[in-house]
Each structure stands twice: as structure tokens, then as C-alpha cells.
Amino acid sequence: MAQIELGWIVPVGSNELTRKDFLSTIKQGLHTIAGHFDSVWLPDHLQFGDRPFLEGWTALTYLAAMEPELKYGHIVLCQLFRNPAVLAKMAATFQYMSQGNFILGIGAGWHEEECKAYHLPFPGPGQRVAELEEALQIIQALWKEDNVSFEGKYHQITNAFCIPRPEPIPPIMIAAFQPRMLRLTAKYADWWNIGAGEIEKTREMVAGLNAACEQIGRDPKSIRRTAMVGCYCARDEQKLKALLAKHQAPFPPGFTGTPEQIVEQLQPLIELGFDYFMVNAGGFPDLTTLELLSSDVLPLLQK
């Protein structure tokens, strides 16, 4: 089994902090995980109602300059937002400037509200998946070849170059839950990402990915299994309740408890082959959860 690794899903905005305090706390969080966590992650959304939400590419580039030894990626890039050839170029540039620390996380797109608000096309699910497959073909070609032309139903490029090519080629991580996206994952992905939920549903998704791999003759173990998880961690019940009091919907709090309890709760996912967890560390701007994940939880997971 691969070593268990963690990534931090960085908060994308705050109503309760000034800009100065928000950025200062993010910087403190990066220092906390440096040398312990493997990576930093941001979502790729434009809006959720009127809540503060930073744009993912710009923010990730800024963070990468602050702690350059960490890896960086998005959970996950929305293929609806960017021309795939331009996206390939952006990723190659990030890989060059970060000295090889970029992971390309991408998905078909799902949040209709932001597309309507920003007047971006939002086709049906079948077309979104088909567009993503063409985007992946273009990205992989531009990363490996020169003078690339591609004539798809939704995307086209002619005599395109992406120089310097990314070195090494970034892992491609696809977020997938439904059968068609699982088939796309089996065909193109190095990493697979899900949002951790009920363990039975997760088992069903694992079985679906395994079946999709078998259909094309790929070893399912060649795809790294990663999961987004929420987490609230404290050494005692009183502190845990104080952290949970800050939790806001729409997403559930995720795994909660002492470091030992968090490790125990993660075990069913580890037994299913998940060895990389991108953590939304609850309680921000209180960094207790992040600190305990670094100092206590991760060492226990790696034993």
C-alpha cells in the first residue's frame, strides 16, 4: 500500500476576517503544513450566491510562490471555463514555474448557477462529458507533441505548440462519480477523486471504476484513489464543540473527533485503496484542526 498523504483545501474567502487577517492566516496555515502535508488545493468556482469566493488559478499561483516545496492543484478545474489548449498552456507554465509541482485536477462542470451568472454555456451532462474528453485529448497531445492539430465536435486546434512542454508531465486527476465519467477516468486519468460520503456508495463507485478499467484492459491499481474530506479535529470534546459551532451548510462537517478517532474513521476508505486525502480543515480561522492533522493524525496514518 502507498504511503498515506494529505493535502489542504485552502479556504477561498471569509466574511469575518479583513483581507490582511485572512491572508495572514492562510500564510500561517501553509507554514503549519509545510514538511508534513504533500499539497495545497483550491476549488475552481466563480460564485456560490454572494459568499466570498476567490478565483482558483490566480489564488493558487500566489500560494505556490509562498511555499514552493508543496504540490498544488485544483479540486477540480471546470472544463467549461477555459479553452482546453489555453488550459494546457497555463498548466505547462505552472509546471515550469513551480519546478514540477502541479497536479491537473479537472471535471466536466456541474454548478449551473455560476455559468448563468457569468453568461457561460452550460450544456447537458452528456455534452459536458464529451467536451471534457476532447479537452483531455488536446491537453495530452500538446504536452507531448509539437505542431498539434485536432478537429473535434466541440474543440479544434491547428498547428499548436505548447513550449516549454511540462516536465515532468503533471498527473491528471479526474473527479468522477457517474458511469460515463468513470469510463473517462479509466481511459485518461492518473488519479481519481471523489467526495467522501457514505461508505457503501463509495464501494459502489470503486466497483464502477474497476469495471471501467477492466473493459479497456487497464489495471485499476494504476490509478491513484484520492478523496475530498471535511474534518474537525481537537484533543477534547469542549474544543471540538467550539470548532463545530463554526460549521456552515451546505456540506456536512465530515470526520470529527480526536486524532485517534479521525484515523479510525478514515480506515474504511484506506481499506478501499484510498491513500490521498484532500482535507477541508474545519474551524478556520482557528487552525487547531490543521495543526493536529500535521502533528498527530498524519504520523498515525503513516505507521
247 confidence band (pLDDT: 50, 70, 90): confident
| Pairwise CA distance, residues 162 & 165, whole Å | 6
Question: What integer pLDDT is reported at residue 74 of this predicted model?
Answer: 98
251 confidence band (pLDDT: 50, 70, 90): confident
Packing angle between helix 259-271 and helix 199-215, nearest 10 degrees?
30
Collapsing DSSP to helix, strand or coil, 107 comes out as: strand
pLDDT at 57 over 60: yes
Single-letter code of the amino acid located at 141: A
User: Considering its fold, how many domains does the chain have in total?
Assistant: 1
Cα four-point dihedral sign 37, 43, 48, 52: positive
Question: What integer pLDDT is reported at residue 246 of this predicted model?
Answer: 85
- Average pLDDT, stretch 36-51? 97
| Pairwise CA distance, residues 66 & 128, whole Å | 35
Q: Give, in order, the Cα–Cα distances in Å from 16 to each of 13, 19, 21, 285.
A: 9, 10, 10, 9
- Average pLDDT, stretch 9-21? 95
- Average pLDDT, stretch 2-27? 95
Asked if 168 and 51 count as a contact pair (C-beta separation under 8 A), the reply is no
Instruction: Retrieve residue 19's grid coordinates.
Output: 483581507
Q: pLDDT above 90 covers what percent of the chain?
A: 95
Paired strand residues for 148:
160
197 confidence band (pLDDT: 50, 70, 90): confident
pLDDT tens per residue across span 199-240:
999 999 999 999 999 999 999 999 999 999 999 999 999 999
Beta strands in 176-272 (DSSP E): 191-195, 224-233, 255-257
pLDDT tens per residue across span 260-282:
999 999 999 999 999 999 999 99
Asked if 170 and 102 count as a contact pair (C-beta separation under 8 A), the reply is yes
Domain, as residue range, for 79: 5-302
Paired strand residues for 255:
231
pLDDT at 284 over 70: yes
Paired strand residues for 191:
173, 224
Helix (H) or strand (E) holding 208: helix 199-215
pLDDT at 1 over 60: no
pLDDT at 59 over 80: yes
16 φ, ψ (degrees, to nearest 5): -100, -10
Question: What integer pLDDT is reported at residue 11 of this predicted model?
Answer: 96
Question: What integer pLDDT is reported at residue 248 of this predicted model?
Answer: 79
CATH label of the domain that carries residue 230? 3.20.20.30
pLDDT at 250 over 90: no
